[in-house]
Structure 1
Amino acid sequence: MYRPKVPEQITSFQLAVLILSLFVVVSLTVELIFKLPPEILQILIYVDTFICMIFFIDFVQQYRAAPSKLEYMKWGWLDLISCIPLMEMNQFARLIRVFRLIRAIKSISMISHAINENKASTSLHFMVVTSLMMMVFGSIYILYLEKDMPGANIHTAGDAFWWTFVTITTVGYGDFFPVTLEGRIVAIVLITTGVGMFGSFTAVLASWIMDTSNERKMEVQILEEVHELKAEVRELKSILKKQTERNE
């Protein structure tokens, strides 16, 4: 039976699939343990729709890469079902999320192996995708903590997303702010994460640019050496030819 090949080089898209797969596992666990308010469920539905699009793109890529489409679909139908978006959290939706959980575990296993083999090349991708997921989890948690609290100004999913974005990027407009102790702790975590993340992002980006530049210099040097070797070979051929003509 056909099995998808473990990627040799991790890409931003594959890392996004990994992070979103982890999110599926966590969100399903949270839904089973806690009774979430409608506003939090609405955020999960928005995120779930986005995840479906990413998973569907991943399904199409794997389907096109499969040597045998029929063999792939013997288990690929599971991936296809997991791409169905959830319009509301009902029993059917929970069944779909179980399929998505199975698919997520499979993706985590495959891509984690690729990350272990390519740690250096995944640092930049990891920070970008992790920042996005921090925004999602931060939005969900701050809305859960702040909604309906006296004096609170974060009431909707849009308010939560906006506040999380300006907080993790350390912009901090001040139009929205947490009023609860727990919410302020979340803000401290996001600010600290944002400062560290973007500082590391700059360092990794600079290192990546330097590595790329060094690789190009090495390629140019190798090409120059190859050209020199070719010139020497041509010169040797010419000398041998002249020597042969003299002997004749």
Structure 2
Amino acid sequence: MDAEDRTARWERRAGLPLAVASVLFLVSYGVRVLGEGLPEPVRDLCLAVTYASWALFVVDYAVRWRLSGEGPAFVHRHWLDSLVVLLPLLRPVRIVRIYEGVDARRRGEPRLPLQARVMMYAGLSSGLLGVTAALSEYHVEHDAAGASIRTFGDGLWWAAATLATVGYGDVVPVTLLGRLIAVGLMGCGLALLGAVTGSFSSWLMQRFARDGEDPGWPPGK
């Protein structure tokens, strides 16, 4: 069994536990950020769940590094995975990397089901990414001097405008960390938007090509 097969086998086994860990990470982080009035033991439990989930991401990364047999080259060849380990809140954007791998393996096959899945997954990932970015932005901004992001609702509005590349400018980060989060969200938003628009454009081209080959097209011919 070569390295690619071993890695694929590990990813199949670890898929569900990592999905659960991702949900637990987001929920525990959100409860800790938004539940400022909660009892301290509850907040400590949320912190422990957050770190435990993060530890699972690190273990997954280490195992895939070991199975790849690539050595230090694994870090830059899988730069998105490396970034997600450092910043787990970016985990939803891994769908872009998954799309690239699946697309490369399926060339020459019917692509409509894949395109539909990519658009659905990227849409869900955009939503998750927006929520996590809103949590992070609210966390670092709400008590800063001169902040315009005072509530979680402000954070959600800011995240939606940023992901949509609209940028109204009515609420903006004022801290250094908040602006770094904004830059990261802009980059991730463009990547996810590119995955969706690329898949949709490919689907349209496929439909037009199929219609052009249909003897009954255009109607009335």
- TM-score, normalising length: structure 2: 0.48
Higher relative contact order at CA 8 Å, sep ≥6: structure 1 or structure 2?
Answer: 1
- TM-score, normalising length: structure 1: 0.44
Tell me which structure has the larger Cα radius of gyration: 1
